[in-house]
A and B are shown apart, each in its own frame.
Chain A
Amino acid sequence: MVSEKNTNQIMNKIRVNRWKDQLFKVWGVACTLIGLILLVVFIGDILIDGIMRIDWGFVTDLPSRKPEKAGVFTALMGSLWVLVLTTFIAFPTGVAAAIYLEEYAKKGRFSAILEINISNLAGVPSIIYGLLGLEIFVRILGLGASVLAGSLTLSLLILPIIIVATRESIKAVPKTIRDASYALGASKWQTIWNQILPAASGGILTGVILSLSRAVGETAPLIVVGALAYVPFAPGHPLDDFSVLPIQIFNWISRPQHGFIENAAAAIIILLLVTFMMNGVAVYYRNKWQKKWK
């Protein structure tokens, strides 16, 4: 009798457990879909708000007090300047630092400190980099609120991301390639330059593009550095004043007239297009590169 009762209890328990299991499965699917649905809603809503506003004039017009006359030309050019300068500053520095850490630094206190330091920098809020840039580049080095000061600030911001990605890619290069090169009498640098870097290039490229896409979307550090919302001309020189797309968007969002909201949505479409394209290219390179080694 007792055992029969026990069996029944266990059977009930199994039924309840199965029921809970199925319930969680539904919940899990729902959570995953919520994330994706929100993504679609975000993009859909912004497209509805802004797509009608985009025409050639919107891209080539200068900023204006009147929403229907305003364009993103100066901001777009500012973003382009920032992108190019940041690439030239952050890419070589980040890759060089990563090569040092991966190939030269001896395991010990020094490299441990470097490692903790980089991991910490990656977690520093972007606005803090803005404060650093404001004091060092804008004031002490006297660059003013220039496109160069902004690019230097963003370079420091994305440096940890580039270093981490480059180190991962170098680590993934098979040891046999290194051995083969050394066995042929190549020096350390020759091996790195001719063998390891080409082999790791896909992964490095992915990391660099992803970090640059982050730089293009950054707003807060550039506001702190002093990038302006209203710049009448596109920068022609690294020391010129500048605005960037995200700041233009921020400025338009804060205006009360509805026309500017439409402008903001339209500018967001352009910004998202740039961001997603960069992400797409990065993912493409990552897949291509992973196939090569796995």
Chain B
Amino acid sequence: MRKFKEGVIEKTLLTSALITVAVTIGIVSVLAFEAIRFFKEVSIIDFFTDTQWTPLFTDKHYGILPLLSGTFLTSAIAISVALPIGLSISIYLSEYAPKSFRKTVKPMLELLAAIPTVVYGFFALIVVTPFLQGIFPNLSGFNSLSAGLVMGVMIIPFISSISEDALHAVPKELREASYGMGATKLQTAFKVVVPAASSGIIVSIILAISRAIGETMIVAIAAGQQPRLTFDPTVPIETITSYIVQVSLGDVQHGSIEYRTIFAAGITLFTFTFILNTISYGIRKKYQSNYE
């Protein structure tokens, strides 16, 4: 009887674990199912080479490039803010700051990542854009610059926290050896500690990129809804994610080609983040075995 009960419990637990596999299968098949039907109507070559994305207009074009360029533009701006600041914070906290300072500041910075993204969107549109317009009068009301900058602030803690963990895990003995030969803290940080923690730092950067690519609300609110193939940060653009939001807000018939475009866009986004996540998982596994 006891054995039977234990068996039932184990099966129940197993089922829960299998749900996670079902979710992945669900995501892939839902995206693939609708995307395949989309590609029956739209040539995959057009999808990747056409430079216009106008599925909601009468003159329909289905070129993903403008959405991709919008996604990469905002992400690139975000990373170029978050990478130097996040890395500097992590090095400062792990190599220079007193323990008590580190202990208070780290959770406060992590609070930046806990703020709902719709709040960041508000900030980008209502505060940052008007402020930047004071400096660059040509800046449009919707633009990738303020969306990217604010997104950069949001992902600072991803880089600073995970990198700091990796730097902190570098054995104290290596630092002492370097100090003992007359190196400054800065030299020790960049020549010994950062190289030793490089895999953890790379993981943090990849996670941040993946997060930036998938970020939705900031760009949906502040970057505009005009898909265009450009790297000009001052004009309105549209990202993959904000296109999905735009269609979802409108009244699009289930089963129509417009409905399927969001799945075609979704599978493109999923592929990119999947590749990034897999790389970071691989590095993390290798790095764990290196340190243990």
- Residues on A facing B (Cβ under 8 Å): 14, 17-18, 20-21, 24-25, 27-29, 31-32, 34-36, 38-39, 42, 45-46, 49, 92-94, 96-97, 99-101, 104-105, 113-114, 116-132, 134-136, 139, 156, 159-160, 163, 187-189, 210, 213-214, 216-220, 223-224, 226, 246, 249-250, 253-254, 261, 264-265, 268, 271-272, 275-276, 279, 283
Among A121, A160, A187, A271, contact of B2 (Cβ-Cβ < 8 Å)? A187
Among B15, B184, B276, contact of A17 (Cβ-Cβ < 8 Å)? B184
Q: Once bound together, how far apart are the Cα atoms of A93 and B21, in whole Å?
A: 13
Question: With A97-B19, A217-B117 given, is the CB distance from A261 to B96 under 8 Å?
Answer: no
B20 contacts chain A at the CB level, 8 A cutoff: yes
Is there an interface contact between B214 and A118, defined as CB atoms closer than 8 Å? no
Question: With A28-B91, A42-B119 given, is the CB distance from A130 to B248 under 8 Å?
Answer: yes
Is there an interface contact between B30 and A136, defined as CB atoms closer than 8 Å? yes
B residues within 8 A CB of A216? 116
Is there an interface contact between A24 and B277, defined as CB atoms closer than 8 Å? no
Among B13, B92, B117, B153, contact of A38 (Cβ-Cβ < 8 Å)? B153
Among B19, B114, B126, contact of A159 (Cβ-Cβ < 8 Å)? B19
Q: Once bound together, how far apart are the Cα atoms of A45 and B190, in whole Å?
A: 37
Is there an interface contact between B10 and A21, defined as CB atoms closer than 8 Å? no
Question: With A125-B269, A131-B31 given, is the CB distance from A28 to B281 under 8 Å?
Answer: no
Q: Once bound together, how far apart are the Cα atoms of A105 and B119, in whole Å?
A: 41
A residues within 8 A CB of B91? 24, 28
A residues within 8 A CB of B23? 121, 132, 156, 159
Q: Which of B114, B156, B281 has the most CB of A within 10 A?
A: B114
Is there an interface contact between A220 and B216, defined as CB atoms closer than 8 Å? yes
Is there an interface contact between B245 and A118, defined as CB atoms closer than 8 Å? no
- Residues on B facing A (Cβ under 8 Å): 2, 5-6, 9-10, 12-17, 19-21, 23-24, 26-27, 30-31, 33-34, 84-85, 88-89, 91-93, 96-97, 105, 107-109, 111-112, 114-119, 121-123, 125-127, 153, 156-157, 160, 182, 184-187, 207, 210, 213-217, 220-221, 241, 244-245, 248-249, 254, 262-263, 266, 269-270, 273-274, 276-278, 280-281, 284
B residues within 8 A CB of A131? 27, 30-31, 244, 262-263, 266
A residues within 8 A CB of B88? 24, 27-28, 31
Is there an interface contact between B216 and A125, defined as CB atoms closer than 8 Å? yes
Is there an interface contact between B92 and A45, defined as CB atoms closer than 8 Å? no
Main secondary structure of the interface of A (DSSP, over half): helix
Q: Which 8 A-B pairs have the closest CB atoms?
A: A125-B214, A28-B92, A217-B116, A96-B16, A123-B277, A220-B216, A100-B13, A21-B184
Is there an interface contact between A250 and B14, defined as CB atoms closer than 8 Å? no
Is there an interface contact between A32 and B92, defined as CB atoms closer than 8 Å? yes
CB distance from A258 to the nearest CB of B (A): 10
Among B9, B116, B207, B221, contact of A218 (Cβ-Cβ < 8 Å)? B116
Is there an interface contact between A128 and B269, defined as CB atoms closer than 8 Å? yes
Question: With A17-B184, A128-B270, A189-B6 given, is the CB distance from A42 to B89 under 8 Å?
Answer: no
